[in-house]
Amino acid sequence: MKVFDPYRILGISPEANLEEIRRAFREKARQLHPDLGGKKELFLELKRSYDFLCARLSPNRLRIFKERPRGDNYLLSFLDVTAKELALGATVTVVVPGKPKICPHCHGKGQNPSGRKEKCLLCEGQGEIEFLGAKRHLKIVCPRCGGRGKVFVDICPHCRGRGEISGERELILKLPLGARPGDILHLPPREENEVDIFFELQVHPSGNIVFEGRQLVSRVAVSFWNFALGRPLEVETLEGYEKIFLPPRFQPGTFFTLPNRGPYREDGSREDLLIKVEVVFPLDLPPTARKKLKEFAEIMEKEAQDATSGYQS
Ligand SMILES: [Zn+2]
Ligand SMILES: [Zn+2]
C-alpha cells in the first residue's frame, strides 16, 4: 500500500503552519481541480491531504469521546451538523453555554442610561429626603434615584432589563475526522475558570446524503425506464453531483459503493460511499407510453413462452 504523505502531496515542509498549508492547497487546487481540467484522483488526494493537516493543526479542534463524561464539572450541549459536514470534518460555528455576566451597558441595573428620564417621585426631584424629627433634621440620599432626582424609564436594550447577559459565546470549531453519529465531542477548557464542554452530535441529512447508522449513504431515485436502459445516474457525492453508471447486473433494493469516497477516518483515509438506488414508477403514464409498455410486455411474454415450449419439445 502506498504511504500517505500529505506534506509531499501539498509540496510543503512538515513544519508548515496552517496559513502555509492553505496557500499550498489553493495553488495546487488551481492546477488539479477537475473543473479546470485536472485529474479527479489527484485532486481528491490533494483535498484529503489538506483536510487531514487542517484537522490536525487547527487550534479549535474538537476531540472524539466515546463515552459520556464523568463527574459534574462540565457542560453538555448539542451540536447540529449535516451529514456532509461530519463526513468531511468541516468547520462549524457553535454557540457554547457559559455563566451569565453583569450587563456592561447598564452595569447590572437593567435601565437604559442613555434613554428617557423622568422626575423621581420619591424625592420629588430633590435627590434627598428630609426627615423632620423633634430634636434634629435628618437628610438621606434618595434610595430610588441615588441622589440624581431623576430616574431612567427605559429598560436597557442590551440585556432587556435583566441586568445580566448570557455567557454564551460563538466559537468556530473544527469537527474531528472520523467522528460519526452517536459520538460525543469534547472541547477542553480554553481559558482559566472555564469547564470542559461536551457535545452530543445531532446529524441531519444534507440533500440526498444521510448517515444510516455509522455508514454514509447517498440516495438516488431513477425512473424504471432509465434503470432498465442502463442510463447513467446523477448521484450526489461529498464532492458534488456526478454522472455514474450502475454496475452491470445491478438490481434495485441493493447498494453499490464508490470506494474511498465516503467519510474520513481519523487517519485521513476514507471509507466507501454507499449508493442506494430507488427505482421509481410513475403513478400515471401517458396513453401512448402505456400502449408501448403493453407492446413491450407482449414481446417479453412471447419470449418467455417460446423459451418454455422450446425446452419442452
Ligand atoms: Zn443592561
Ligand atoms: Zn429620588
* CATH number where 229 lies: 2.60.260.20
Domain identity same for 31 and 12: yes
Grid coordinates representing 217? 449513504
B/e letters for 79-113, b = 16+ CB within 10 Å, e = fewer, are bebbbbbbbbbeebebebeeeeeebebbeebbbbe
As a whole number, mean pLDDT of residues 3-30 equals 90
Residue 1 falls inside a structural domain: no
* pLDDT at residue 66 in the model: 72
State the residue range of the domain holding 150: 100-166
What's the domain count of the chain? 4
Q: For 40-64, what is each residue's pLDDT tens digit? A: 888 988 988 888 888 777 777 788 8
Domain identity same for 141 and 227: no
Ligand 1 centre to CA of 114 (Å) is: 11
Residue 304 falls inside a structural domain: no
| 126 secondary structure, DSSP code | S
* pLDDT at residue 197 in the model: 86
Domain identity same for 105 and 225: no
Ligand 1 centre to CA of 143 (Å) is: 20
Ligand 1 centre to CA of 159 (Å) is: 4
Ligand 2 centre to CA of 128 (Å) is: 6
Pick the closest to residue 64 from 189, 177, 204 (CA basis). Answer: 177
* pLDDT at residue 191 in the model: 67
22 close to 13: Cβ distance less than 8 angstroms? no
Domain identity same for 52 and 68: no
Q: Note the ligand closest to the C-alpha atom of 166.
A: 1
Domain identity same for 171 and 89: yes
Give the chain's mean pLDDT: 88
Ligand 1 centre to CA of 149 (Å) is: 21
Ligand 2 centre to CA of 134 (Å) is: 24
Ligand 1 centre to CA of 110 (Å) is: 5
Q: How far is CA 174 from CA 91, 163, 196, 249, 283, in A?
A: 4, 34, 16, 42, 46
Q: pTM of the predicted model, to two decimals?
A: 0.68
Query: Does residue 258 have a pLDDT over 90?
Result: yes
Domain identity same for 262 and 180: no
Least confident of 26-30, 96-100, 237-241: 96-100
Residue 231 falls inside a structural domain: yes
Query: Does residue 298 have a pLDDT over 90?
Result: yes
Ligand 2 centre to CA of 105 (Å) is: 22
Rounded to the nearest 10 degrees, the angle between the axes of helix 18-32 and helix 40-57 is: 170
**What is the rounded (10 degree) CA torsion for 279, 280, 285, 289?**
-20
* Calpha distance 88→223 (Å, rounded): 30
Grid coordinates representing 128? 434627598
* pLDDT at residue 96 in the model: 79
Grid coordinates representing 40? 479527479
Give 52's Cβ-side CA count (13 Å radius).
20
* Calpha distance 300→155 (Å, rounded): 80
198 sits in which H/E element: strand 196-204
Domain identity same for 267 and 138: no
Residue 296 falls inside a structural domain: no
Ligand 2 centre to CA of 141 (Å) is: 8
Least confident of 42-51, 78-87, 95-104, 190-199: 190-199
Ligand 2 centre to CA of 114 (Å) is: 18
As a whole number, mean pLDDT of residues 258-272 equals 93
CB atoms within 10 A of CB 235: 23
Pick the closest to residue 108 from 167, 163, 166, 165 (CA basis). Answer: 163
Residues paired with residue 185 on neighbouring β-strands, in sequence order = 64, 199
Query: Does residue 310 have a pLDDT over 70?
Result: no
Domain identity same for 68 and 107: no
Pairing of strands 184-187, 63-65: antiparallel
Ligand 2 centre to CA of 139 (Å) is: 12
Taking the CA atoms of 182, 183, 189 and 190 in sequence, report the sign of the dihedral they define.
negative
Largest CA distance in the chain: 136
Residue 114: pLDDT band with limits 50, 70, 90: confident
Ligand 2 centre to CA of 119 (Å) is: 8
Ligand 1 centre to CA of 192 (Å) is: 25
Residue 312 falls inside a structural domain: no
Pick the closest to residue 22 from 43, 48, 53, 44 (CA basis). Answer: 53
Domain identity same for 112 and 238: no
Residue 237 falls inside a structural domain: yes
